């Protein structure tokens, strides 16, 4: 197997997204699974901003197991994210799933996300390797650390050094949770690469009650950030109903995260 | 989860590729992992044709874990496949990995292959759903039957009914083999969908000595075809050195397969 | 890791159980999941004998996930197996789950079975290593070949060379089948150890319709034998209702197996 | 599948081991993988006691993959644990692997451990269900929560209510770590059963550098305790060399754990 070259540099990477320093302080990315309509995305954006989130997430292109499931609003979804950004100032994180959409998504997003299903879509990785925007690369559902870093290597090799890794749970035999969030990957990433690592407990566990403790555990494990699904009205959501926090739950969680951070900041 | 619609029809599908009826009699697709040069692909094509193969496989676009591994000859590889087809008359099977390459690959290939890494690359599935060529859809390394059929559903939903499923091994904890070839999926597919199913033991086990017995087992399990890696000189291969049969091994194997078939044809 | 010593001898092992040569010709072990009562076990034994089975299987000690599920008839079950043996002459295969039961089980059984849950119960392995009876060692649900052979090594190291390996399916993400039957382990075992290997498709797939094709595939892959669950009245079975063949299905299957064998015997 | 009965009671269980309340405050169990000799176990016991550990762990009966690996000192190991207890007052936790050893182990141990390999050894579970001592039940390497609770149910059903669950990592495809520590099981256990849950990051990750962050993460996730391998001289250890902390590392870790606890105690 060919060796890793660009993903294991000595100096830890700090990425600046509109003034937010990722890799320096804990950052929180929050927002709904899918962008559904203007009211939904703007209300949610305002709520997560007030609670202390640093970036807004929202899916416009949704990779779904069935072709008959909601596939996202596409370009309209991107435009609604732009509106939410204007209202709140929050930078936008959104997924891209097709090489031909990369340019368009770049016009609206501050950070492009490669989802777990596309971690081995090398054409797409090369394409986002040629842009000037930060890329969040989610770990594939069964990817090893080595395979994941190789996927990051594809992006770096094309000239884009701004890559953030995101753990989102791997597939195991446990059925109680949607996936198994692998928090030991956080210190493993820290000692293997200079790239920042964030954790997405929402997809990792897929169960509302388990998200807050896993957020705290991710912070304690040393994560550089969290990605959390929040929806202004989860019961009406078109996707991922069971794992989106209400704004109130999110505020409480942010309070607990801040309290936990004091231990690490002071130590 | 949304239901399957188009992948479970009553009448078993027979696909005609240049007069070869897939889903009717056992068909064998053989050829090298990667197209390397004219001599290699033409020699191998002649050898597999003489041994009784029905279609020629060869990779021009290679999805590799590392960006520094051989990525295939691309367009030149397609042209070399065309040469081999002219020499032997064997229809061509080759992989496509990027939505933007689908038209080009269609010009040279008789059957397009979607590799296991792209089983959940829905943009690519939709794109090959809009063409008039047969598509071989490999099972993802950790895909369930339901997820796999949903991926086929993406292709059928766009208007292309000509889909062949291909089992190529799933990831398990066993390290003796490269993957674990799941032959029980063959009768499972037969009772779940009208689409033909073929088996690729080369990637399934990744070990020369195990390929012949697994080919026989696949036929006994009811597979509609086999996809086997054959190289005129495996020791010089640029990829998959350890799992490509020599022409001589392949001829012996084809003899054994034919003998085995007589049992099923007579019964 | 310490090396294997006794499990990789050059000369292939032939085990003689009451005149039946295991490792020489294909043998079939058949019978119900659990011994339930005299009528059930005797009727089933007669039926499988008539169809051509070589040994009778039946569980007296049942390892079950829940303590509230049927745990087997214990000693009474062993006595009923003895009755069935008297009626048919078929040697008995039954599971032992406790070191303290080994002597008792030896009085009634011709072959002792170690189930997949106990593949790493080293105390039990050592105990059956001290007896003079043949032991069938089932593969653990997630065991690698190396771990499995090490468990066999525990038995051989205590002085009992008469070990038969039995593949019974490993756990994977596929939910259509109960487990995933790993047939590539058959040739892998053949090239790694001198011990015979048999295959249990009943537990491997857990679905009636898939058992016959997987029996044929196991034979084609080179298995030394099959272990098949047969019940004189499956719908009334206290365990494994969905994977026990009726005597009629079993007879049909035996016919197909015999026809398949002719290919291999003549070749 | 039969239902769980005794493992899901409303009132959270507090277990008293020699005055230590497990399930109330965070407890730490520390000590070497194997008991090797008097000097080793006594020195280690004194060191972990001084650093704040509440119980001493040490293996006398060691379940090992190979029969040629060190199998533990057996009865002599138990006696050395008794000596260490006399020197430090720390209650003893040690593993039992054979039904016939349960009485003997009870004479020396305060808490009996059932290892992951024996989670489905139902004879052993029933046997420890008949004693008056606390039992730590480790999760099997591929067990689901439901299977694990069923194993606990075996112990409770025999009359022993004093069961502590212990997460120790599950098998996944990741090879960087020895296993994948599943911390989401901590809140999942908390909402499914009244039994306490502790976490063993040493076996969970098998890599020295990852143990401290995973201990902190386990506490943040809500674990009732930690089980940590500590050896007075890890480089000379007969087993698990790469995952045993030195006394100094353990003291530093205990300081960090205490600081982290203040957040949760005050919140």
- Dihedral (C-alpha) A168, A170, A172, A176: value to the nearest 10 degrees? 10
Shortest CB distance from C67 goes to which of D66, D141, D153?
D153
pLDDT at A54: 98
- Please judge whether B184 and C145 are an interchain contact, meaning their C-beta atoms are less than 8 angstroms apart: no
- Please judge whether B171 and D171 are an interchain contact, meaning their C-beta atoms are less than 8 angstroms apart: no
- Residues in chain C within 8 Å Cβ distance of A171: 173
Q: Which two tokens stand for residue A207?
A: 């169960």
CATH 3.30.1300.10 matches B30-266 = no
- Please judge whether C66 and D2 are an interchain contact, meaning their C-beta atoms are less than 8 angstroms apart: yes
Q: What is the mean pLDDT of residues D125-131?
A: 98
* Beta strands in B59-162, from DSSP E residues, in sequence order: 92-95, 111-114, 134-138
Site of tokens 């609604």 = A80
Nearest chain B alpha carbon to D175: B173
User: What does the DSSP 8-state code read for residue A117?
Assistant: G
pLDDT at D183: 98
Calpha distance D38→D87 (Å, rounded): 11
pLDDT at C55: 98
Task: Number of helices (H) and strands (E) in chain D: give both, helices first.
Answer: 9, 10
Q: What's the CATH number of domain C23-266, 3.40.50.720, 3.20.20.70, 3.40.47.10, 3.40.50.2300? A: 3.20.20.70
pLDDT at A265: 61
Calpha distance C24→C21 (Å, rounded): 6
- Please judge whether B209 and C192 are an interchain contact, meaning their C-beta atoms are less than 8 angstroms apart: no
**Structure pTM?**
0.96
Chains near C (3 or more Cβ pairs under 8 Å): A, B, D
Nearest chain B alpha carbon to D142: B173
What's the pLDDT band for C264 if we cut at 50, 70, 90?
A: confident
DSSP 3-state assignment of A240?
Answer: coil
Across the 267 residues of chain A, what is the mean pLDDT of every consecutive 10-residue run?
88 97 97 98 98 98 94 97 98 97 98 98 98 98 97 98 98 96 98 98 96 98 98 92 94 96 70
- With a pLDDT cut of 90, the percent of chain B lying above it is 94
- Please judge whether B173 and C144 are an interchain contact, meaning their C-beta atoms are less than 8 angstroms apart: yes
Chains near B (3 or more Cβ pairs under 8 Å): A, C, D
- Please judge whether A66 and B153 are an interchain contact, meaning their C-beta atoms are less than 8 angstroms apart: yes
Q: What is the CB-side half-sphere exposure of residue D30 using CA atoms within 13 A?
A: 31
pLDDT at A242: 85
Q: Is the pLDDT assigned to residue D129 strictly greater than 80?
A: yes
Question: How far apart, in Å, are the Cα atoms of D212 and each of A258, D200, D257?
Answer: 21, 11, 9
Q: Helix %, strand %, coil % for chain A, to 5?
A: 45, 20, 40
- Residues in chain B within 8 Å Cβ distance of A171: 142
For chain D, the structural domain boundaries read 27-266
- Residues in chain B within 8 Å Cβ distance of C168: none
Q: What's the CATH number of domain D27-266, 1.10.3720.10, 3.20.20.70, 3.40.50.300, 3.90.1150.10? A: 3.20.20.70
- Please judge whether C67 and D154 are an interchain contact, meaning their C-beta atoms are less than 8 angstroms apart: yes
Q: What is the mean pLDDT of residues D32-44?
A: 98
Q: Is the pLDDT assigned to residue D267 strictly greater than 70?
A: no
pLDDT digits (tens, 9 = 90+) for D175-229: 999 999 999 999 999 999 999 999 999 999 999 999 999 999 999 999 999 999 9
pLDDT at C1: 62
- Residues in chain B within 8 Å Cβ distance of C170: 172-174, 180
H/E element, A61: none
For chain D, the C-alpha Rg in angstroms (whole number) is 17
What's the pLDDT band for D266 if we cut at 50, 70, 90?
A: low
Q: Per-residue DSSP letters for A123-149? A: HHHHHHTTSSSEEEEEPPTT--HHHHH
Site of tokens 């009634």 = C108
- Residues in chain C within 8 Å Cβ distance of B221: 213-214, 216-217
Q: What are phi and psi of C53, to 5 degrees?
A: -65, 150
Q: Which two tokens stand for residue B176?
A: 């003796």
DSSP 3-state assignment of B128?
Answer: helix
- Residues in chain B within 8 Å Cβ distance of C139: none
- Residues in chain B within 8 Å Cβ distance of D170: none
Question: How far apart, in Å, are the Cα atoms of C149 and each of B176, C111, C119, C227, D141?
Answer: 12, 19, 10, 20, 19
Q: Which two tokens stand for residue A53?
A: 């989130």
What's the pLDDT band for B239 if we cut at 50, 70, 90?
A: confident
Shortest CB distance from A99 goes to which of B99, B118, B126?
B99
Q: Which of C173, C175, C178, C179 to mutate to test the interface with A (most CBs of A within 10 A)?
A: C173
Calpha distance B112→B93 (Å, rounded): 6
pLDDT at B1: 62
User: What does the DSSP 8-state code read for residue C246?
Assistant: P
DSSP 3-state assignment of D41?
Answer: helix
CATH topology of domain A24-266: TIM Barrel (3.20.20)
| Residue A171, min C-alpha distance to chain C (Å) | 8
Contact by Cβ (8 Å): A188, A149 = no
pLDDT at D1: 62
Calpha distance B138→B167 (Å, rounded): 6
| Residue A171, min C-alpha distance to chain D (Å) | 8
- Residues in chain D within 8 Å Cβ distance of A181: 182-184
Q: What are phi and psi of D136, to 5 degrees?
A: -95, 120
Calpha distance D121→D135 (Å, rounded): 14
Q: What is the mean pLDDT of residues C143-149?
A: 97
Q: What are phi and psi of D135, to 5 degrees?
A: -120, 130
Q: Which of C124, C76, C68 is nearest to D126 (CA)?
A: C68
Q: Is the pLDDT assigned to residue C9 strictly greater than 60?
A: yes
- Please judge whether D144 and A176 are an interchain contact, meaning their C-beta atoms are less than 8 angstroms apart: yes
Q: Are strands A20-22 and C92-95 parallel, antiparallel or unpaired?
A: unpaired
Q: Is the pLDDT assigned to residue C266 strictly greater than 80?
A: no
Q: Is the pLDDT assigned to residue B128 strictly greater than 80?
A: yes
| Residue B217, min C-alpha distance to chain A (Å) | 28
- Residues in chain B within 8 Å Cβ distance of A121: 97, 117-118, 121
Shortest CB distance from D1 goes to which of C63, C65, C141?
C65
Average pLDDT value for chain B: 96
Calpha distance C120→B105 (Å, rounded): 51
| Residue A217, min C-alpha distance to chain D (Å) | 4
User: Which residue(s) pair with C138 in the sheet?
Assistant: C166
User: What does the DSSP 8-state code read for residue C111?
Assistant: E
Angle, helix D38-51 to helix D75-88, in steps of 10 degrees: 40
Shortest CB distance from A142 goes to which of B3, B66, B142?
B142
Q: What is the mean pLDDT of residues C55-59?
A: 98
Average pLDDT value for chain C: 96
Q: Which of D116, D177, D186, D184 is nearest to D151 (CA)?
A: D116
pLDDT digits (tens, 9 = 90+) for D73-85: 999 999 999 999 9
- Please judge whether C222 and B213 are an interchain contact, meaning their C-beta atoms are less than 8 angstroms apart: yes
- Residues in chain B within 8 Å Cβ distance of A142: 141-142, 171
pLDDT digits (tens, 9 = 90+) for C190-209: 999 999 999 999 999 999 99
């Amino acid at each position: 197997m060919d060796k890793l070259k660009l993903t294991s540099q000595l100096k830890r990477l700090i990425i600046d997204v509109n003034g937010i320093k990722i890799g320096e302080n804990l950052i929180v990315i929050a927002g709904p699974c899918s962008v559904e309509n203007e009211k939904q995305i703007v209300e949610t954006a305002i709520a997560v901003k007030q609670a202390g989130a640093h970036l807004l997430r929202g899916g416009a292109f949704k990779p779904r197991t069935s072709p008959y499931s909601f596939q996202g609003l596409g370009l309209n979804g991107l435009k609604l994210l732009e509106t939410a950004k204007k209202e709140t100032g929050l930078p936008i994180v959104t997924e891209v799933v097709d090489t031909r959409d990369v340019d368009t998504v770049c016009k609206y997003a501050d950070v492009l996300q490669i989802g777990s299903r596309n971690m081995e879509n090398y054409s797409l990785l090369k394409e986002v390797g040629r842009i000037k925007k930060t890329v969040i690369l989610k770990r594939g559902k069964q990817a090893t650390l080595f395979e994941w870093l190789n996927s990051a290597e594809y992006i770096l090799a094309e000239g884009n050094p701004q890559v953030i890794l995101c753990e989102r749970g791997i597939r195991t035999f446990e059925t109680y949770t949607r996936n198994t969030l692998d928090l030991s990957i956080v210190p493993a990433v820290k000692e293997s690469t200079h790239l920042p690592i964030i954790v997405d407990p929402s997809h990792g566990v897929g169960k509302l009650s388990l998200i807050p403790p896993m957020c705290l555990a991710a912070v304690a494990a040393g994560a550089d950030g969290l990605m959390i699904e929040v929806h202004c009205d989860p019961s009406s959501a078109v996707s991922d109903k069971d794992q989106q926090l209400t704004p109130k739950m999110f505020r409480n969680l942010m309070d607990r995260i801040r309290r936990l951070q004091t231990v690490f900041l002071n130590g």
